[in-house]
Structure 1
Amino acid sequence: MTQNKNKIYFISDAHLGRESISLESQKEQKLLAFLSQIENECETLYVLGDLFDFWFEYKNLIPKQFASTLFALKKLKNSGTKIIYLAGNHDFWLGDFLPQQLEISVHPNHLEVSHQGKKLFLTHGDGLAKKDIGYRVLKKILRNKVNIWLYRQLPADFSFWLAQKVSHSSGNYTQQKNIEYQEYLNFAKGKINSGFDFVIMGHIHQPILEKIDKGYYVNVGDWMKNFSYGVLEEGELRLEKF
């Protein structure tokens, strides 16, 4: 039954596959418990990118270490919850597995949606800091279709190993950078002034709910340390921790 599914949930940045086996197990168990807990009340779940620390598909092959999470997402979808996935900067190579096998809607960039009488602008948040020119250039290179085709020619085991090394370096780079917080606020303010009630993102791993004029800038945090998420209920958005 789905009549009580009246809440919209937002999660981001679990980076499944990044950490040690023991830490990954703890993190995954928390995520699985969360997905099970919201099953009876979640109308729509938005995954705002980087659920996986790396994702790449071959024609008949996907990363097997994420099987439990994929099964839980399928179970949630079968319960009547709509799941929408926005690609992040670690999992933007999403292919057709999620939409075809799990019936999860996948979007490469931002989304503009309405729920409960509110207008929402959703994005992962990478590339918004104008001063981070290096990353903005790298993003265009990595999303180039020719480069994706070339990467797919590598043996699968080697490509996954290489991606993990690059991903770890990228994660360390992001953590060491000074977050241009004001740039995110300015971006959110521009969207709010154009009519949005909530500007919601992830990427910086910091849960934030800040009022700007007539709207709110929201960062849902992460599922590595904060285990935080957003909930929209009766037109009001709040941040919670699991």
Structure 2
Amino acid sequence: MQIPEGKKIYFSSDNHLGAPTREASLPREKKFVRWLDEVKEDAAAIFLLGDLFDFWFEYKTVVPKGFVRVLGKLAEISDSGIPIYFFVGNHDLWMQDYFEKELNIPTYRDVKEFTFNNKVFLIGHGDGKGPGDKGYKRMKKLFTNPFARWLFRWFHPELGMRLAQHMSVKSKLISGDDDKKFLGAEQEWLAQYSKRKLESKHYDYFIFGHRHLSMEIEVGDKSMYYNLGDWIHQYTYGVFDGNTFEIKKFE
């Protein structure tokens, strides 16, 4: 994809809408909608890198209540012709085809390669990548098992949603690595994952979320790893103008 003159590609991650309560997250949802309104003016594309919701499960005829402001804004932007790409995170990994059918937003469940202006990107949420975090990786295998999803679907939505939201807040295994302190350039596990990927192919940029910390780390010759931060405390996002990538803060 060649980015048209004057256009940019935007990236955000980890809104966790609905946490700790819908009422408490509403100001964050409104702020994120303001950001979407701002970036749509010059966006060539928008990438949402997971955990948009603190919990999401799609029954055949039921989706979680709420979030109408952000869903309506995403529908508006998608309908206007600006492509939006969504990567499921560890909190919304039970997303199925609602975004694709209702909003025309393609949904990805693993990292995916994109090329913009001859720069090669590897993009994803980032959960379960790199060394360590074995407890979460085992839990993710359980949660992504088709039989486990089928079994959960038999809970009444009222009970299932209450149970899942409680676990989403309380369980470290569902959250993955909950240590939000910077581990150092050599110890950050997504930086280590990026370095391993470079052994087989060159990437100019690795763009991930999940860590809730905005960071940039040089991982190879002309290769950078960026983490987007979050929309809980940092309100940070990434932008690529066709030549350079940077992390910015939305006030």
Shorter-chain TM-score: which interval? over 0.9
Instruction: Give the distance between the partners of 1:189 and 1:35, measured in 2 at CA.
Output: 32
Does the aligned pair in 1 maintain the 2:56–2:95 contact within 8 Å? yes
Q: Does 1:198 align with 2:244?
A: no
Q: Does 1:152 align with 2:153?
A: yes
Does the aligned pair in 2 maintain the 1:110–1:124 contact within 8 Å? yes
Instruction: Give the distance between the partners of 1:116 and 1:173, measured in 2 at CA.
Output: 34
Does the aligned pair in 1 maintain the 2:206–2:226 contact within 8 Å? yes
Query: Which stretches in structure 2 are left out of the alignment for 5+ residues?
Result: none
Query: Which stretches in structure 1 are left out of the alignment for 5+ residues?
Result: none
Does the aligned pair in 2 maintain the 1:13–1:221 contact within 8 Å? yes
Q: Does 1:175 align with 2:178?
A: yes
Cα deviation, residue 130, structure 1? 2.1
Instruction: Give the distance between the partners of 2:147 and 2:73, measured in 1 at CA.
Output: 33
Q: Does 1:234 align with 2:242?
A: yes
Q: Does 1:134 align with 2:121?
A: no
Going from structure 1 to structure 2, the CA distance change for 1:70 and 1:4 (only over 3 Å counts) comes to: farther
Going from structure 1 to structure 2, the CA distance change for 1:178 and 1:33 (only over 3 Å counts) comes to: closer
Cα deviation, residue 215, structure 1? 1.0
What is the TM-score normalised by the length of structure 2? 0.90
Q: Percent identity?
A: 33
CA offsets per residue over residues 9-44 of structure 1, 9 Å max, x none? 111000001124443121011101001111121111
Instruction: Give the distance between the partners of 2:11 and 2:171, measured in 1 at CA.
Output: 24
Does the aligned pair in 2 maintain the 1:191–1:199 contact within 8 Å? no
Instruction: Give the distance between the partners of 2:127 and 2:36, measured in 1 at CA.
Output: 25
Q: Does 1:103 align with 2:104?
A: yes
Structure 2 counterpart of 1:101, which letter?
Answer: E
Runs of 4+ in 1 over 4 A off after TM superposition: 176-180
Instruction: Give the distance between the partners of 1:94 and 1:70, measured in 2 at CA.
Output: 14
Aligned length: 241
Match of 1:185 in 2: 191
Indicate the RMSD between aligned Cα atoms, in angstroms: 2.0
Any idea what SS the aligned residue of 1:190 has? helix
